[in-house]
Amino acid sequence: MDLELSDDQVALRDGIASMLGGRFDIARIRAGFDRAMWDELGAAGVFSLGADGFGWADRVVVFEQLGVACVPGPLVAGSLANGLVDGIVGGIDRPSPGERAFVEHLDALDHVVVLDDDGVWALDARAITGDLSPWPLDPLTPVTRVAALGSGERIGDAALAHAWVRHGAALTAAIALGLAQRCTDLAVEYAATREQFDRPIGSFQAIKHLLADMLVRTELARAAVYAAGAHLDDPDLPGLDRAVAGAKVLAGEAAIANGKSATQVFGGMGFTWEVDVHLYLKRAWVLDTHFGSCDHWSDSPALVTP
């Protein structure tokens, strides 16, 4: 039993963090997702970790760092569909039948992968049309309102769709964990330097306690996400679905709550476009809609015996 990072995982984490820090500074992140970003992430091996022999525990460690850097784009879909679907792949998990669907990053995509109860479907992105929202919730996650997705090629059965929901939830939770971590770091850094009443605001208990709670949520989410990764690497152990569900709930909540707390610590500046915190909070809201929300999993039989 060991839920601490191995030396190899520390090296993997530091390697990806250093790559992201060097090439994806916040100015580039703010410019949004594009093909160059996809290619660079692909060249760094972000999407092919599974094919390259890395386990799920390794993959969540890498995806946590994508969250820390606030990297936009269809990262999870790209990872799940790697090797099965060509080009830039976005995804929709479990669309409600008959309803109008939002597709994220549609203009940048080659394919859209749809997961439903019958299986996994690959659609040609260029055949999908709709109205691009002029004002998406997350400015780095453009959304297109699509009347009908149309049908595509079935590339996997219901079992694959089920597995992808599980894998997608774990990777999404890992990104959310990274968002929660970065919000904590940004807020701590600001609280240590911003002065009011002739003192750093981080010396006031009202602020310190907000920050301490952010750390607690992050550490709890990290334990849950790493445990989910370790469960996925050892699927014969009981409790896999429960571990993934718990990770999605705790990391999703931590990202949203820490985004809110960081906004509060930044005060008026936290309500500006200039400060990065809103990008993290908005991404956290977007990710909550992927692969089952916190509420969805809290209600699910994975977490409450019916």
Partner 1 sequence: MELRYSDAEEEFRAELRTWLVATLPSLPPEPPREAWVERRRWDTDWQRRLFEAGYAGLAWPSEYGGRGASPTEQLVFLEETTRARAPYVGVNFVGTLHAGPTLIAEGTDEQKSAHLPRILRGDEVWCQGFSEPGAGSDLASLRTRAERDGDHYVLNGQKIWCSFGQIADFGEFLVRTDPDAAKHRGISWLILPMDAPGIEVRPLRTVLGSSEFSEVFLTDVRVPVSNRVGAENDGWRVTNVTLSFERGTAFVSELVDTLRLIEDLAPLVTDAGHRRELGRCTAEFDGLWALTKRSVSQAARHGAPGTAGMVTKLAYSEARQRFGELCLRVLDRDALAIDGNELVEERLRTLALTIAAGASQIQRNIISERVLGLPREPR
The 227-246 site mask, x for binding partner 1 (CB under 8 A), equals x-xxx-xx--x----xx-xx
Site for partner 1 in 138-157 (CB under 8 A): none
Residue number, 103 or 174, with CB nearest to partner 1: 174
CA distances from 43 to 19, 79, 119 (A): 11, 13, 29
- Binding letters toward partner 1, positions 162-191, x by CB under 8 A: --------------------------x--x
Residue 223 within binding range of partner 1, rule CB under 8 A:
yes
Token pair for 226: 């790493």
Per CB under 8 A, contacts with partner 1 among 39-58 are: 57
Q: Count of alpha carbons within 13 Å of 130, Cβ hemisphere only?
A: 22
Distance CA 281, CA 183 (A): 8
Smallest separation, CB 284 to partner 1 (Å): 17
> Among the candidate windows 111-119, 197-205, 267-275, 284-292, which touches partner 1 by CB under 8 A?
197-205
Token code pair at residue 92: 């929709």
Note whether 163 and 240 are within 8 A (CB).
no
SS3 69: coil
Does 10 help bind partner 1 (rule: CB under 8 A)? no
Least Cβ distance, residue 272 to partner 1 (angstroms):
24
Confirm or reject binding of residue 20 to partner 1 (CB under 8 A): no
Closest CB to partner 1 among residues 289, 293? 293
C-alpha to C-alpha distance for 100 and 147, rounded to whole angstroms = 5
CA 264 to chain centroid: 22
Residues 110-129 that bind partner 1 (CB under 8 A): none
CB of 137: closest distance to partner 1 in angstroms? 24
Helix (H) or strand (E) holding 101: strand 101-104
Token pair of 64 as six digits: 């946590």
Task: Tell me which residue has tokens 């820390």.
Answer: 68
In 166-229 the beta strands, taken as DSSP E runs, fall at 195-196, 199-200
Q: Which two tokens stand for residue 233?
A: 């690497």
Contact pattern for partner 1 over residues 246 through 265, marking x by CB under 8 A: xx-xx---------------
Which residues of this chain interact with partner 1, rule CB under 8 A? 1-6, 9, 57, 188, 191-192, 199-200, 202-203, 205, 208-209, 211-213, 215-216, 219-224, 226-227, 229-231, 233-234, 237, 242-243, 245-247, 249-250, 294-295, 297-300, 303-305
